[in-house]
Chains A and B, each alone.
Chain A
Amino acid sequence: MLERHASRAARRAREFEAFVAGAAGRLLNAATLLTAESPDDNPRARRLLTLSLAHTYACWDRLHGEDPYDRTRRQLATRFARGAWHQHGALGRARPHPASPLAPLTPQERLILVVRLHEGVAEEQTAALLGLSPERVRAICHRATSALLHRSRGPAPAVTATKAMP
């Protein structure tokens, strides 16, 4: 019994380490986009990712073939949705950093844009994940895209330069 427990723990540690080595970079990028922090100084994104990964680690033995990346991503999104609501009033903590490409958007617009376009989750699944209707997800995504494109065509020359690249 003890031996089986120990071998399972060792296997979990090994598999989890491989998973983190492969997936953490992309997830950290997504989390940094969500919190709209500068890519070099992102304590909130790191905390968000750490807590989501801890949840995945705790569920590791009960995944039953489910994709751990998807699990972590869902956890990240729901955690951010809850946390953004709590930090609504805390101006100093939640203020977006100007270096982030999603700085002009609201937290909900960032969340939907990141899940839809950065992670490539389908519209219906995004809607189910966030508890919204698919039409609403499409409308918010459209609005956020328009806001971003409008801004990148207008006053920000740096973004237009990257846009011009093939």
Chain B
Amino acid sequence: MSGNDREATVRRLLEQPARPVPPEIHAEAVRRGGRMLRRRTLARRLMWLLLFAAAVAFTVWALTARPWVEPPSDTTPPLTGW
């Protein structure tokens, strides 16, 4: 028996008469899929919120601490009395 013949025979074994699909499959899929979508939306919003909060916090810290200004030196003793 050649390869194509064998495959055709097995295909025929696998063919089954179409049965009516229970309607609760569609309803349940829509329910679960909708829940997944809502969760994804929520997670995306939370991520943006977190990013925004981090950006605001960094800006406020940078404006108050001014890390780019050279700090006054306090290691060299003041040059006095000569």
Contacts and interface: CB of A to CB of B under 8 A. Distances in A.
Judge: A and B partners, yes or no.
yes
Interface of A: 13, 16-17, 20-21, 24-26, 28-29, 32-33, 39, 46, 49-51, 53-58, 60, 101-102, 113-114, 117-118, 145-146, 148-149, 152, 159, 162-163
Interface in B1-57: 1, 6-7, 9-14, 16, 18-22, 25-26, 28-34, 36-37, 40
Nearest to A100: B16
Interface residues of B, number: 27
Nearest to A116: B7
B14 A53 contact: no
6 contacts: A53-B33, A55-B33, A57-B30, A117-B10, A149-B1, A149-B6
A26 B18 CA distance: 7
Contacts of A13: 30
Interface of B: 1, 6-7, 9-14, 16, 18-22, 25-26, 28-34, 36-37, 40
Contacts of A16: 30, 33
Contacts of B6: 145-146, 149
A27 B1 CA distance: 30
Given A54-B33, A54-B36, A29 B13 contact: no
A152 B37 contact: no
B21 A24 contact: yes
SS class of chain A's interface: helix, strand, loop or mixed? Answer: helix
A51 B10 CA distance: 28
A54 B36 CA distance: 8
Given A16-B30, A20-B29, A54-B28, A117 B18 contact: no
Nearest to A152: B13
Given A58-B34, A60-B33, 19 more contacts: A16-B30, A21-B26, A24-B21, A24-B25, A26-B18, A28-B21, A28-B25, A50-B28, A53-B26, A54-B30, A54-B32, A54-B36, A55-B33, A55-B36, A56-B33, A149-B6, A149-B9, A159-B13, A163-B13
